[in-house]
Amino acid sequence: MVRKMFEKAGLIPGLQSAPKLLADPASPEDPGRSKTAPGTMMSFLTAQSSAMHEAEALKERVKTLEGDSPLRKLDPSSVKPSKWANRHEATFLTAEFQQLKAEIAAAGGNVQPIKVRPVQVLNGSTLPTDAIYEVIFGHRRHRACLDLGISVLAAIEEASDASLFEQMERENRGRKNLSAWEQGTMYRKALDDGLYSSLRRLAESLGVDVSLVSKSVSLARLPEAVVGAFQSPLDIQFRWAAPLAEAMQKDPDGTLERARTLAGARGDLNAAGVFSKVMGHPAPALDCSAPTTLTISKAGKVAGKLTADSKGRAVVRFEASAFPDSKRKALVKVIEDFLKG
């Protein structure tokens, strides 16, 4: 038992004498040590008392550090989007974003903090001089707080450009709510700014498949006329990257002409129809037997579904547990505000 006590005491920094107490009292290496059992015990108790004081000091230090919370409530106007921000403006017009903003308003702020870095750590930044922080991730939460005029809860970290980019990418990939075009725009900016030397190096640093990076960047490098043919860049899908790039190589003039025509006269064509027209193919026939259904999630669980039929009519159904009576008026207000846009 005494040996175990010594070993524990020896784990505390600064206590160098405890291991020596295990030596033979009569050892010639330590002739000045007491050779009696009471003396040995007294030496141990003295060392143990010192260890106790040391442990208490460490505990107090830990309490002090734990009290220094890394979270701060910041004025959202003092926080600027990252230069690699991957959110298109259309994202902030979606029903999903309006729902997020309503939830933040109801909670009095963002419960899940964003992460920012001080602008002062940047070299050659193009951010405005009045910016104090730059978003690492959490652009939608920051925008919601900015629109609502309330403080944004943020964790502050001094991060390098590469660290910022990789944290942002991982956080968004974990949420799986970036569109193909937004993802590609993020990758393209990083490559154009020289943050990574190649597609392969970027993919390796992020731990993603290089073919996914290639398709994403291909979408982000499409001419503005092609992107503008769609109702929103968010509608462009990964699987269209290769055929659109091929069309631009084989028939650039025809592809651009079809895209420009569609931009002003797409009518009620859905994204798949626009893609077919840009490619020079007839628009696919609508399948009335297979309505389009989108899942509405909350905290990783299904909260409801939005179903659209072939005539463009949409129905939203919520799970009972996700839609209490107290939130119905708030939802109506969100929908009305969304339709105004």
Q: 31-35, 208-212, 290-294 — which is least confidently predicted? A: 31-35
Domains of the chain: 2-67 (no CATH), 71-178 (3.90.1530.30), 222-284 (no CATH), 292-340 (no CATH)
Q: What pLDDT does 141 receive?
A: 93
Phi/psi for 218 (5° steps) reads -60, -40
Question: Quick one: pLDDT at residue 310?
Answer: 53
Would the pLDDT of 256 be above 80?
Answer: yes
- Condensed to tens digits (0 to 9), the pLDDT of residues 26-65 reads 444 444 444 555 555 556 555 555 555 555 554 554 343 3
pLDDT of 247 higher than 90: yes
- What's the token pair of residue 336? 């009305």
CA-derived radius of gyration, the chain: 30
Which of 15-29, 67-81, 96-110, 206-220 has the lowest average pLDDT? 15-29
Determine the pLDDT at residue 156: 92
Which of 117-126, 238-247, 284-293 has the largest mean confidence?
A: 238-247
CA angle, corner 94, sides to 92 and 95, nearest 5?
125
Q: What is the 3-state secondary structure (H, E, C) of the chain?
A: CHHHHHHHHHCCCCCCCHHHHHCCCCCCCCCCCCCCHHHHHHHHHHHHHHHHHHHHHHHHHHHHHHHCCCEEEECHHHEECCCCCCCCHHHHHCHHHHHHHHHHHHHCCCCCCEEEEEHHHCCCCCCCCCCCEEEEECHHHHHHHHHHCCCEEEEECCCCHHHHHHHHHHHHHHHCCCCHHHHHHHHHHHHHCCCCCCHHHHHHHHCCCHHHHHHHHHHHCCCHHHHHCCCCHHHCCHHHHHHHHHHHHHCHHHHHHHHHHHHHHCCCCCHHHHHHHHCCCCCCCCCCCCCEEEEEEECCEEEEEEEECCCCCEEEEECHHHCCHHHHHHHHHHHHHHHHC
Rounded distance between C-alpha atoms, residue 208 and residue 311, angstroms: 39
The answer to whether residue 314 scores a pLDDT higher than 90 is: no
- The position carrying tokens 């009620």 is 268
Provide the pLDDT for residue 340: 63
Residue 155's pLDDT is what?
Answer: 93
Across the range 221-238, mean pLDDT stands at: 89
